[in-house]
């Protein structure tokens, strides 16, 4: 009886024949795999106009993840925010992913971004989507420090959170 989750013998043989590393030893194969780019690091280094393939893979992972996996994925994203080679687009991508799966654990890192004019908008977007009092308190605390367009955006975010919480738009 064949296992339904394993490929058929002919398919496995065809895949093995097409493997460009088939002639290498197990150690050689492992060295090749180690040279593969880490999609998480590449997403953090992403530049405007650059290749977004690996970031797209991470985004798909976020969309397909089970909520039980969110804490591990969230920590991975938070670790990336601390990388010295973090680029502007990489940071924005990471924060958008935190908007999808973030929890109270993300709030301190996002609150720090809220204070900077160049990152305030993306931080607000993520904090708007994260449920709970921690996000509310971070947004309220920023109200005393923000001015101009950043403050206007913050007030809109607070109204959106209130509308979501109460079901009432004003």
CA-based torsion, 71, 74, 80, 82: positive or negative: negative
- For residue 10, the model assigns a pLDDT of 73
- For residue 32, the model assigns a pLDDT of 64
Specify the pTM: 0.75
Number of domains within the chain: 2
Which pLDDT band holds residue 2 (cuts at 50, 70, 90)? very low
Q: Using one digit for the tens of pLDDT, what is the confidence trace for 71-103? A: 999 999 999 999 998 989 999 999 999 999 999
Task: Give the phi and the psi of residue 19 in degrees, each rounded to 5.
Answer: -70, 115
- The answer to whether residues 117 and 93 belong to one domain is no
CA distance 103 to 107: 7
Point out the domain boundary residue: 102, 136, 154: 102
Structural domain harbouring 92 = 38-102
CA distance 36 to 34: 5
Within a domain: 27: no
- The answer to whether residues 93 and 79 belong to one domain is yes
Q: Using one digit for the tens of pLDDT, what is the confidence trace for 35-68? A: 677 777 888 888 888 778 888 888 998 999 999 9
Point out the domain boundary residue: 80, 102, 124: 102
- For residue 118, the model assigns a pLDDT of 86
- Mean pLDDT of the 22-35 span: 68
Question: Which residues, in sequence order, are CB contacts of 5 under 8 Å at separation 6+?
Answer: none
- Mean pLDDT of the 132-156 span: 92
Within a domain: 93: yes
CA distance 121 to 131: 18
Q: What is the mean pLDDT of the chain?
A: 85
Report angle CA 19, 44, 78 to the nearest 5 degrees.
Answer: 115
Question: Which residues, in sequence order, are CB contacts of 36 under 8 Å at separation 6+?
Answer: none
CA distance 22 to 24: 6
Point out the domain boundary residue: 77, 102, 127: 102
Within a domain: 22: no
- For residue 29, the model assigns a pLDDT of 63
Within a domain: 125: yes
Name the more confident of 23 and 137: 137
Name the more confident of 149 and 53: 149
Which pLDDT band holds residue 116 (cuts at 50, 70, 90)? confident
- For residue 75, the model assigns a pLDDT of 96
Chain-centroid distance of CA 36 in Å reads 20
- Mean pLDDT of the 105-116 span: 94
């Amino acid at each position: 009886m064949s296992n339904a989750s394993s490929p058929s013998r002919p398919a496995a043989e065809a895949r093995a024949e097409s493997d460009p590393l088939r002639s290498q030893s197990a150690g050689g194969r492992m060295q090749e795999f180690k040279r593969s780019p880490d999609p998480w690091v590449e997403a953090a280094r992403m530049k405007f106009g650059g290749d977004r393939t690996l970031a797209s893979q991470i985004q798909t992972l976020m969309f397909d993840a089970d909520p039980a996996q969110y804490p591990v994925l969230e920590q991975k994203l938070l670790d990336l925010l601390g990388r010295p080679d973090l680029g502007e687009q990489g940071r924005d991508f990471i924060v958008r992913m935190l908007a999808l799966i973030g929890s109270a654990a993300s709030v301190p890192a996002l609150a720090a971004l809220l204070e900077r004019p160049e990152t305030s908008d993306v931080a607000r977007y993520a904090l708007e989507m994260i449920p709970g009092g921690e996000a509310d308190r971070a947004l309220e605390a920023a109200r005393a420090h923000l001015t101009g367009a950043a403050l206007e955006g913050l007030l809109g975010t607070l109204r959106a959170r209130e509308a979501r919480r109460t079901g009432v738009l004003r």
